[in-house]
Amino acid sequence: MSAFLQGFSSVMAPQVLLIMIFGVIVGIIGGALPGVSGAMTMALFLPMSYGMNPTEAISMLVAIYIGAMSGGLISAILLSIPGTPASVATTFDGAPMAAKGEAAKALGVAIVFSFLGGLFGILMLIGIAPELVRITIQFSYYEYFAVGIFSLTIISAVGKKSVLKSFIGAVIGIFFSFIGRSATSPFPRYTLGITSLNAGFAILDLMIAFYAITQIFDAAFTRDDQIEGTVLNYGRIEGFGFSMREFKSQLGNALYAACIGTGIGILPGTGGGVSCIAAYAAVRNRSKYPEKFGTGIIDGIVASETANNATVGGALIPLMTLGIPGDNATAILLAAFMVQGISPGPMLFEKNGALVYSIFAACVVCHFIFLAIECYGLRIFVKILKIERHTLLAVISAVCIVGAFTINNRLFDIWIVLIFGVLGYVLEKMDFSLVTVIIGFILGPIIEENFCRGMQRSLGDFSKFVTDSPIAVVIYLVTVLVIGMKIYQNRKRKVSGT
């Protein structure tokens, strides 16, 4: 309990509190604007974390993450365009409610259940993470190698893209991670004689390139009428816009969706975009009136917004306990940890226990901040939705270039960001998932280092990776099971299609 109190005292310091308020506001704006995702917003502000201490830096990015996850509901309801992929299912019933003149009620329901879903996920994080660490702290090189292989399998098998393309994307990311020096050798590799690549690619370069520059290219080549819509008037919200009876009637749906959101958030490479659809479908299937879904009922909004916000806590569990990101946003959080010289994983709880509980406290406080800001500042955010897209893209482009330069104060990083931005745009057009490339880039050094250390420990005997570790055997079996299930599902889908 004293650790929690210390964590809350750290984040309630005036400077940290102001940083979190700023982060939530920026996140809501980034989430609400179609074409500007939460991950992109986090990537834009990642360079700012350089001059902050770990508590301030992580609290700011967590605030942006939480703000963006909930901000997407504004455009999803008022524009019928999801601000983020995590708000796709919110449009199914939110937009019809707004069209019927019930926009205020739809917004109120979405805001309140976003808050409750987010808190549920964070409570699961606080409850599960310390217990999971007691297991993972016993991991050796063998177990970490197995976890790396399992994570690559998950992002390939669970993602929405083709399994083959997801796997190829992960391999591309792993190859990029091999450029430069490795953790086990001082000699640079695959640099083509370019000395600026001796240290490898900075993870910040790839984050800005894939989550900002790529999106700018995509928006630049997309017609305005494809991503812009008319902002509907939502009138005046009295209270939260719905009755206590309606609130109580949705608690079962909310709990069901929150469990789905948290569970999916734990799986690497999934995120809110998957959880909101899965929860929406699950709540509709268990409903007594499934035919009403999509016509404008609060059940659909509750399912989507509770699940996608619960994903935040779920996605932080593998990041903090294993050092493996659960989605795009936690990949950027991992980069922020690296910038601060901190390695997420079991030892994070041992070496930086105060920071861990500060992060837990920041997650809780940020949810109360976004609840207050979205309730009282909604009209301001609606006005921001009307900003001309070409103006917004110009500002974002300038921020990206400045951010790339400040990484190492050299023009080389600007060129790297632009080149990878073009590469990311091409990969997306070829239907590759960029999140698999990023997670492959992050997992590459983990897999390589633990493989090399494990081989040294076993004197070159690879069989020791299995025979000396029962936990690794279980992980490998689960990996094979996931692959088998995906192959079975694909074959079943093809048979039913024919």
Distances (CA, A) of 37 to 68, 87, 201, 367: 7, 11, 23, 19
Instruction: Give yes or no for residue 473 having a pLDDT over 50.
Output: yes
Which of 239-254 are b and which e, b meaning 16 or more Cβ less than 10 Å from the residue's Cβ?
Answer: ebbbeeeebeebeebb
Out of 63-72, 134-143, 338-347, give the one with best mean pLDDT. 63-72
Which tops the pLDDT comparison, 251 or 324? 251
The end-to-end CA distance of the chain, in Å, is 59
Burial class (CB in 10 A: 0-12, 13-18, 19+), 178: middle
**At 345, phi and psi to the nearest 5?**
145, -170
Mean pLDDT of the region 256-261:
91
Q: Do residues 442 and 331 lie in contact, with contact meaning Cβ atoms separated by under 8 Å?
A: yes
Apex 431 CA angle, 426 and 434, nearest 5: 70
pLDDT class of 395 with cuts at 50, 70, 90: confident
- The predicted pLDDT at position 302 comes to 92
pLDDT class of 229 with cuts at 50, 70, 90: very low
Instruction: Give yes or no for residue 161 having a pLDDT over 60.
Output: no
- The sign of the dihedral angle between the CA atoms of 131, 133, 134, 135 is positive
Mean pLDDT of the region 233-240:
56
Q: Which two tokens stand for residue 116?
A: 């409750």
Share of the chain above pLDDT 70, in %: 87
Distances (CA, A) of 72 to 86, 163, 309, 384, 406: 7, 28, 11, 13, 29
- The predicted pLDDT at position 206 comes to 82
- What is the overall mean pLDDT for the chain? 81
Residue with token string 């330069």: 405
How do residues 86-122 score in pLDDT, each as one tens digit?
Answer: 888 888 888 888 888 788 888 888 889 999 999 999 9
How do residues 162-207 score in pLDDT, each as one tens digit?
Answer: 677 878 888 898 899 888 887 777 788 888 888 888 888 877 788 7
Residues 373 and 261: their CA atoms lie apart, in Å, by 24
Which tops the pLDDT comparison, 138 or 71? 71
Instruction: Give yes or no for residue 287 having a pLDDT over 90.
Output: no
Domain boundaries, the chain: 2-497
List 180's β-bridge partners, or say none: 189
Q: What is the pTM of this model?
A: 0.76
Q: Do residues 113 and 73 lie in contact, with contact meaning Cβ atoms separated by under 8 Å?
A: no
Residues 219 and 228: their CA atoms lie apart, in Å, by 11
Share of the chain above pLDDT 90, in %: 14
List 189's β-bridge partners, or say none: 180
Mean pLDDT of the region 140-150:
82
Residues 309 and 35: their CA atoms lie apart, in Å, by 19
Least confident window among 2-6, 171-175, 380-384, 429-433 = 380-384
Instruction: Give yes or no for residue 1 having a pLDDT over 70.
Output: no
